[in-house]
Homo-oligomer: A and B are copies of this chain.
């Protein structure tokens, strides 16, 4: 099995891109990633991560569309979809394509354009991540399902709502220094406490935004990466797991088995444990998901993550920095693209290019991408080897 490296990253700012089409956003991120990689050849394969284009842009078949628009007509291309975990699964497909020895250079592009349609259409499109027959058909929106998890968590572990504010405050603080982030203003505990309710107990600042954006990565064999005059980022683990997509089909809605299973598989692949991880790009689509992910990955005991967040353990100078460029909450959450943004942020830190947000000793980084209410979970562990 060939070792794999990520040699290039590119991203558009996240926001409401009313003047740019889906293909334009994707091509911009891809060209930036190729330029960043320093290679002078085009990728042989392209994996697109996207969830909403068939519904919100009337466009499937993004692989061929974006390959062509990027000037790469002829190369292999396909879309990988696993709801909000599409980005992570596309990276996994790219890792395997290179590990197989069948292709050399692969591009991954997460792209999402959500703001062109009505709120009602966007809410319906997001609900396709849940069980259409047993959840969606009964009117359960995606935020409502996460609210069920958060309410149960608060009850079971006796955690007050305001404790979750620490995740949001940290994310917005980090986003303020990221020029690609959607939100650039820090928030206070008071702003969090007074935010309007979206789906009780999830308020506006517990939720990531509807937005547009594209992020891209270039992957290549580790041996090729060594020939480029750049920091080498090696893929130590790429592991995924699934759970039922319907919450009611789980024995315990707080167990979130796929989160822990995906993380455990990643630790095993990498031969590492939680204490080896220097930073963690967490899937904070909702603040409850940040807490759940940290706990199920073994970074905090059940019911304690919000309190550790209040103690500053997940800040840039904390024990385990998370959402270091703003996370889904502050940077933004263009759903199918998010898993790719997470890894781009991780690499920005691991290359020492994070500017005012730069953390110390970013050698081993982990990113976790969650689809649905924890139904598909992908965990990547990267290492800077030079």
On A, residues with C-beta under 8 Å from B are 1-2, 21, 23, 51, 54-55, 57-65, 67-68, 73-83, 85-86, 89, 92-93, 95-97, 99-102, 124-125, 127-133, 136, 238, 240-245, 249, 257-258, 261, 371-372, 375-376
- Could you tell me if B99 and A60 are in contact, using CB atoms closer than 8 angstroms? no
Identify the 10 closest CB pairs spanning chains A and B, nearest first.
Answer: A99-B100, A60-B128, A64-B375, A59-B132, A61-B83, A64-B242, A78-B89, A100-B100, A1-B101, A79-B81
- Could you tell me if A376 and B58 are in contact, using CB atoms closer than 8 angstroms? no
Quick one: which of B61, B82, B92 contacts A375, CB cutoff 8 A? B61
Task: Name the residue of chain B whose CB is nearest to the CB of A377.
Answer: B64
Q: Could you list some 16 contacts between A and B, CB below 8 A?
A: A55-B55, A58-B136, A59-B132, A61-B375, A63-B376, A64-B258, A64-B371, A64-B376, A67-B242, A76-B92, A77-B376, A78-B81, A78-B89, A80-B80, A99-B100, A100-B101
- A259-B65 Cα distance, complex, nearest whole Å: 16
By a CB distance below 8 angstroms, the chain B residues around A1 are 100-102
Interface of chain A: mostly helix, strand, loop or mixed: mixed
By a CB distance below 8 angstroms, the chain B residues around A244 are 64, 68, 73
- Could you tell me if B100 and A242 are in contact, using CB atoms closer than 8 angstroms? no
- Could you tell me if B376 and A245 are in contact, using CB atoms closer than 8 angstroms? no
Given contacts A81-B79, A249-B68, A241 and B74 within 8 Å (CB-CB): yes
- Could you tell me if B68 and A78 are in contact, using CB atoms closer than 8 angstroms? no
- Could you tell me if A131 and B376 are in contact, using CB atoms closer than 8 angstroms? no
Given contacts A74-B258, A77-B376, A61 and B128 within 8 Å (CB-CB): yes
Task: Name the residue of chain B whose CB is nearest to the CB of A83.
Answer: B61
- A244-B69 Cα distance, complex, nearest whole Å: 8
By a CB distance below 8 angstroms, the chain B residues around A129 are 60-61
Quick one: which of B60, B100, B130 contacts A81, CB cutoff 8 A? B60
Task: Name the residue of chain B whose CB is nearest to the CB of A67.
Answer: B242
Question: What's the minimum C-beta distance from A120 to chain B, rounded to whole angstroms?
Answer: 13
- Could you tell me if B243 and A74 are in contact, using CB atoms closer than 8 angstroms? yes
Given contacts A1-B102, A128-B54, A74 and B375 within 8 Å (CB-CB): no
Given contacts A61-B245, A61-B371, A79 and B77 within 8 Å (CB-CB): no
Question: What's the minimum C-beta distance from A248 to chain B, rounded to whole angstroms?
Answer: 12
By a CB distance below 8 angstroms, the chain B residues around A83 are 60-61, 64
Question: What's the minimum C-beta distance from A89 to chain B, rounded to whole angstroms?
Answer: 4
Question: What's the minimum C-beta distance from A67 to chain B, rounded to whole angstroms?
Answer: 5
- A65-B82 Cα distance, complex, nearest whole Å: 10
Quick one: which of B77, B95, B242 contacts A242, CB cutoff 8 A? B77
- A85-B54 Cα distance, complex, nearest whole Å: 16
- A133-B22 Cα distance, complex, nearest whole Å: 10
Quick one: which of B58, B102, B241 contacts A127, CB cutoff 8 A? B58
